[in-house]
Structure 1
Amino acid sequence: MSLFRLDASIMPSTSTSTELADVLEAEWSATRPGEPVVRRHLGTDPLPADAWIIATAARFTPEGERTPAQLDALALAADLTSELTDADAVLLAVPLYNFGVSQHFKTWVDLVMAGAGTAADGLLKDKPTVLVTVRGGGYGPGTPREGWDHSTPYLRRILGDVFQSDLTVIERELTLAATNPAMAGLKDLAAQRHTEALDAARHAGRTLAAK
């Protein structure tokens, strides 16, 4: 059984999404020692921002007339799609940036969909998939920024509704409470959210390995 892991933090050395993904992966590997983990890190090795545009244009270009750049973009899209379809389980660690989906993660999604073509619907049908997502502030009901998280609903839509994966979502908020003086009053709640997310990651890792 193989696990595909994707990270999207732009600050991996201090990343809270990386921490949770590491915990989950450790639990998965403890249950399945020696099983392969295929990794891709969009934060440290971002995809070309124009690759999706080029790949899409290539779809409308006769095969014999495609440029080297178009062939490269199509090959990249196919490779990204295969990483998902070849895996038995999927782990995605995706932080919230600027209230939405980061450009480098959106590029990945667009290229996967370009590589899958009409097979994008159901690409991960019933495949065990865990999304780890973290937010620096609080966006829950009744908070000043309720509704400002434009990332998590999108991720659920793509992974759950379009790709049709067997999706588990682990969320952690208030990750900036320890360093932002304006959030000092939220430190205890933030610590509780941290503990809850770590427990959820451990449980999800064991569950993912058992499926």
Structure 2
Amino acid sequence: MRLFRLDASIFPAASASSEIADRVEAEWLAAHPEGTVTRRHLGTDPIAADAWVQATTAGSASEEQRTAEQSSALAQAVALAQELQNADAAVLAVPFYNYGVSQHFKTWVDLVIAGAGPTTPVLKGTPTVLITTLGGGYGPGTPRDGWDHSTPYLKRIIGDLWEADLTVIKRELTLAAATPGMESLKNLGAQQHSDALNAAVSAGRVLARI
């Protein structure tokens, strides 16, 4: 059995999303101790920002006409797509940055699409847990309701385009305990933390049944 895990936090030592992903992975490994975990950490090992351009332009040139950079980027794109296609289950831990997804995560998505093709469902039917963490609150009735431009995109790509069997764990208010002005949200943030960790255990057990 093969689990693919992706992390995208730029603060790996204090990552809220990785903490939740650890719980999911632990449950999967408990059921599949001989299983293989393929890890990719975009925060500590980011993909070059121009890789998507190089891979995409390589597709419109013959093999003989491609530059070394184009050939390398295209090979990387194919390899990234295969990592997902080879997985029996997946865990994607994606923090919320600047009201959307980070540049390094978007580059990864774009390269997977370049490597697999724009309509290829690379996670078709694959049990996948998407973990997304947000420092503030963005739900209905909050001052920044509608400012979460990340979660809808993530669901569209992973669930709709890539056709994963998707479970979403979303934890908001990760900064409530340590940010001046958010003191009144501390208890709610703590509850969201607890709920997310419990959801991770449940989701990990579902992944483990495959």
TM-score between both structures, scaled by the size of structure 2:
0.98
1:14 corresponds to which letter in structure 2? A
CA contact (8 A) 1:89 1:208 kept: yes
Counterpart of 2:187 in structure 1 is: 188
Counterpart of 1:62 in structure 2 is: 62
Higher helix fraction (1 or 2): 1
Instruction: After TM superposition, list the pairs within 5 Å mapping 1:85-164 onto structure 2.
Output: 85-118=85-118, 120-164=119-163
Structure 1 unpaired stretches of 5+: none
Instruction: After TM superposition, list the pairs within 5 Å mapping 1:163-202 onto structure 2.
Output: 163-202=162-201
Q: In the TM superposition, what is the alpha-carbon distance from 1:64 to its structure 2 partner?
A: 1.4
Q: Distance in 1 between matches of 2:99 and 2:187?
A: 24
CA contact (8 A) 1:121 1:164 kept: no
CA contact (8 A) 1:138 1:145 kept: yes
Q: Distance in 2 between matches of 1:101 and 1:194?
A: 21
Q: In the TM superposition, what is the alpha-carbon distance from 1:124 to its structure 2 partner?
A: 1.2
Q: In the TM superposition, what is the alpha-carbon distance from 1:31 to its structure 2 partner?
A: 1.2
Q: In the TM superposition, what is the alpha-carbon distance from 1:164 to its structure 2 partner?
A: 0.7
Structure 2 unpaired stretches of 5+: none
Counterpart of 1:79 in structure 2 is: 79
Q: Distance in 2 between matches of 1:154 and 1:164?
A: 14
Counterpart secondary structure, 2:182: helix
Quote the sequence identity (%).
Answer: 63
Q: In the TM superposition, what is the alpha-carbon distance from 1:121 to its structure 2 partner?
A: 3.3
2:76 corresponds to which letter in structure 1? L
Counterpart of 2:34 in structure 1 is: 34
Counterpart of 2:3 in structure 1 is: 3
Counterpart of 1:53 in structure 2 is: 53
Q: Distance in 2 between matches of 1:121 and 1:73?
A: 19
Instruction: After TM superposition, list the pairs within 5 Å mapping 1:10-29 onto structure 2.
Output: 10-29=10-29
Q: Distance in 1 between matches of 2:22 and 2:152?
A: 24
Counterpart secondary structure, 2:48: coil
Runs in 1 of length 4+ with deviation above 4 angstroms?
A: none
Counterpart secondary structure, 2:61: coil
1:53 corresponds to which letter in structure 2? V
Counterpart of 2:209 in structure 1 is: 210
**Count of aligned residue pairs for this structure pair:** 210
Q: Distance in 2 between matches of 1:34 and 1:92?
A: 21
- CA-based RMSD of the aligned residues comes to 0.8
Could you report, residue by residue, the CA deviation over 1:80-135 in whole angstroms, capped at 9, with x for unpaired residues? 001100111111000000000100000000000000015x4322111111100000
